[in-house]
Chains A and B, each alone.
Chain A
């Protein structure tokens, strides 16, 4: 039985690798010659690729592993938390995407850090932001690779952890270096479809298992969840009290404009019709995927010990537990979808951060070609994140959740730069936002401890709220003075 399982797991994993590699090779036909082609596909992506690469990059393995666990333990508030991000992203994309898109065409932007540097007329700002991207997203990328190692170790045994890291490292390098964004976008499309198909299969099986095999009814499911206080969020009660909800949500609300890997995707569609299509299909994907993922966690909880007859060790253990009891084929497809979700996120991050490093750090571009710097940076980043993941330090996962918190100080400069007519007048304010916001983020994280950032209050407010306030404070002070 164990051997049969291993053979099927390997077969489906090989199928996934085969499909992805074919997709990456297909990407080569687009003929990547310039850095603009390499990083943003020359702005020639159609709706299908643009939407699926946006969705697959946005939704990491946090959804199918982390959010399932959060829904299981904390209930329906997890849906509210994730859908807050969803609504904010729709708002930001609908309003800012056309502005970013048109300016990126006029000004030939390739990287998100270049966008800010150009808006404020400061190449130094672009270089500093490239370094911030690198540092903020390094733990996040390492955590994704660690997730691949843990997934492989859960399936095959602890001895396979390093093989999981090696697999992730190889796929990232191969799928990124083959044709840059073309191979990343095509593999993202395949992985996005795989991710949502796997979530639909797992939720469908859970419905079948609860209602058919365990003979539960809708009223027993709702009554089980209701008794645990998980079906509703009552103000002031349970896990999702306002400070927790706000501190969980705040860094993610602005993800679409603070995280380079998604911001850069707005440059990529071939025309405004494709850009609109990208937002619409991302909207459909996001709503469906979020609801299904939370449903999985809630149904698993409703099944109780009749469904999962062993103790769960924390929120990240719910999905692996489900994979242990689900039918083999579904389990294997979901197992590969976890790897797909991690790879599709981390290769996009590495490509995007490398583009900023290669494009916006000062060096003599007449002597060294930008494309060779980009490829070297990709290889270096892949080695670094794999190395960190290989060390298997537990605090990497904790650090990774701070990525959006550390990118939050980029919000005021981004919004002001895009919406103001003369952003160059606000150069000093932008620097102040970044310096002040980062300083508060680092000091408070050190003071409350990495694991308490979203829960422990300092002077009545949690760290994300303080970082948000600190980032906007220079602008508010300047406005008052004016």
Chain B
């Protein structure tokens, strides 16, 4: 995975965290939303740490 793609996806997750619900969907946010959002961010980070262009080449 390219660093740029990872950074973009993580930024989208960060925007989905509050800014997008606040300004776009106007939907109330609960704990499960935030836990799911952060867990996805963690899983994506895990993927990048093992398959990201900056990480896989040197072990």
Partners in one complex: yes
A residues sitting closer than 8 Å to B (CB atoms) are: 76, 79-80, 83-84, 86-88, 90-91, 93-95, 98-99, 231-236, 242, 245, 272-273, 276, 279-280, 283-284, 287, 291, 294, 298
Chain A residues within 8 Å of B48, by CB: 94
Chain A residues within 8 Å of B26, by CB: 235
Question: In the docked arrangement, what's the CA distance between A431 and B6, Å?
Answer: 30
Q: Could you tell me if B55 and A90 are in contact, using CB atoms closer than 8 angstroms?
A: no
**Residue ID in chain B nearest A83 by CB atoms:** B38
Chain B residues within 8 Å of A234, by CB: 28
Q: Could you tell me if A233 and B54 are in contact, using CB atoms closer than 8 angstroms?
A: no
Q: Could you tell me if A87 and B37 are in contact, using CB atoms closer than 8 angstroms?
A: yes
The one of A231, A245, A280, A291 that contacts B18, using a Cβ cutoff of 8 Å? A245
Please provide the chain B residues from 19 to 59 with a CB less than 8 Å away from any CB of chain A in the complex: 19, 21-23, 26-31, 34-35, 37-39, 41-42, 45-46, 48-50, 52, 54-55, 58-59
Chain B residues within 8 Å of A93, by CB: 45
Q: Could you tell me if B59 and A273 are in contact, using CB atoms closer than 8 angstroms?
A: yes
Q: How far is the CB of B47 from chain A (nearest CB, A)?
A: 10
Q: How far is the CB of A72 from chain B (nearest CB, A)?
A: 14
Q: Could you tell me if A87 and B17 are in contact, using CB atoms closer than 8 angstroms?
A: yes
Chain B residues within 8 Å of A231, by CB: 30-31
The one of A90, A235, A236, A242 that contacts B41, using a Cβ cutoff of 8 Å? A90
**Residue ID in chain A nearest B52 by CB atoms:** A94
Q: Could you tell me if A94 and B37 are in contact, using CB atoms closer than 8 angstroms?
A: no
Q: Which of B3, B7, B34, B54 has the most CB of A within 10 A?
A: B34
The one of A87, A95, A272, A298 that contacts B58, using a Cβ cutoff of 8 Å? A272
Check A280/B14 contact, CB under 8 A, given A86-B38, A95-B6: no
Chain A residues within 8 Å of B58, by CB: 272
Q: Could you tell me if A87 and B38 are in contact, using CB atoms closer than 8 angstroms?
A: yes
Q: How far is the CB of A251 from chain B (nearest CB, A)?
A: 15
Check A235/B21 contact, CB under 8 A, given A87-B41, A90-B41, A95-B54: yes
A contact face: mostly helix, strand, loop, or mixed: helix
The one of A98, A235, A283 that contacts B42, using a Cβ cutoff of 8 Å? A283
Check A79/B34 contact, CB under 8 A, given A94-B45, A234-B28, A287-B42: yes
**Residue ID in chain B nearest A295 by CB atoms:** B31
Chain A residues within 8 Å of B37, by CB: 83, 87
Check A76/B41 contact, CB under 8 A, given A83-B17, A91-B11: no
Question: In the docked arrangement, what's the CA distance between A287 and B46, Å?
Answer: 14
Q: How far is the CB of B45 from chain A (nearest CB, A)?
A: 4
Chain A residues within 8 Å of B13, by CB: 87
**Across the A-B interface, the 7 shortest Cβ-Cβ residue pairs:** A232-B28, A91-B10, A234-B28, A87-B41, A90-B45, A83-B38, A98-B54
Q: Could you tell me if A91 and B14 are in contact, using CB atoms closer than 8 angstroms?
A: yes
Check A84/B18 contact, CB under 8 A, given A232-B29, A235-B26: yes
Question: In the docked arrangement, what's the CA distance between A79 and B29, Å?
Answer: 11
Q: Could you tell me if A87 and B59 are in contact, using CB atoms closer than 8 angstroms?
A: no
The one of B6, B14, B30 that contacts A88, using a Cβ cutoff of 8 Å? B14
Q: How far is the CB of B22 from chain A (nearest CB, A)?
A: 5
Q: Could you tell me if B21 and A291 are in contact, using CB atoms closer than 8 angstroms?
A: no
Q: Could you tell me if A84 and B10 are in contact, using CB atoms closer than 8 angstroms?
A: no
**Residue ID in chain A nearest B46 by CB atoms:** A280
**Residue ID in chain B nearest A79 by CB atoms:** B34
Q: Could you tell me if B30 and A76 are in contact, using CB atoms closer than 8 angstroms?
A: yes
Q: How far is the CB of B21 from chain A (nearest CB, A)?
A: 7
Q: Could you tell me if B10 and A90 are in contact, using CB atoms closer than 8 angstroms?
A: yes
Check A242/B22 contact, CB under 8 A, given A94-B6, A95-B3, A98-B55: yes
Chain A residues within 8 Å of B30, by CB: 76, 231-233
Chain B residues within 8 Å of A287, by CB: 38-39, 42
Check A76/B34 contact, CB under 8 A, given A87-B13, A94-B52: yes
Chain B residues within 8 Å of A280, by CB: 46, 49
Chain B residues within 8 Å of A90, by CB: 10, 41-42, 45
**Residue ID in chain A nearest B30 by CB atoms:** A232
The one of A236, A279, A294 that contacts B45, using a Cβ cutoff of 8 Å? A279
Q: Could you tell me if A283 and B14 are in contact, using CB atoms closer than 8 angstroms?
A: no
Question: In the docked arrangement, what's the CA distance between A99 and B11, Å?
Answer: 19
**Residue ID in chain B nearest A242 by CB atoms:** B22
Question: In the docked arrangement, what's the CA distance between A99 and B7, Å?
Answer: 14
Q: Could you tell me if A233 and B52 are in contact, using CB atoms closer than 8 angstroms?
A: no
**Residue ID in chain A nearest B33 by CB atoms:** A80
Question: In the docked arrangement, what's the CA distance between A86 and B10, Å?
Answer: 11
Chain B residues within 8 Å of A232, by CB: 28-30
Check A272/B18 contact, CB under 8 A, given A79-B34, A94-B45: no
Q: Could you tell me if A84 and B17 are in contact, using CB atoms closer than 8 angstroms?
A: yes
**Residue ID in chain A nearest B4 by CB atoms:** A95
Q: Could you tell me if B35 and A291 are in contact, using CB atoms closer than 8 angstroms?
A: yes
Q: Which of B26, B31, B59 has the most CB of A within 10 A?
A: B31
Question: In the docked arrangement, what's the CA distance between A445 and B37, Å?
Answer: 33
Question: In the docked arrangement, what's the CA distance between A83 and B22, Å?
Answer: 16
Chain B residues within 8 Å of A272, by CB: 55, 58-59
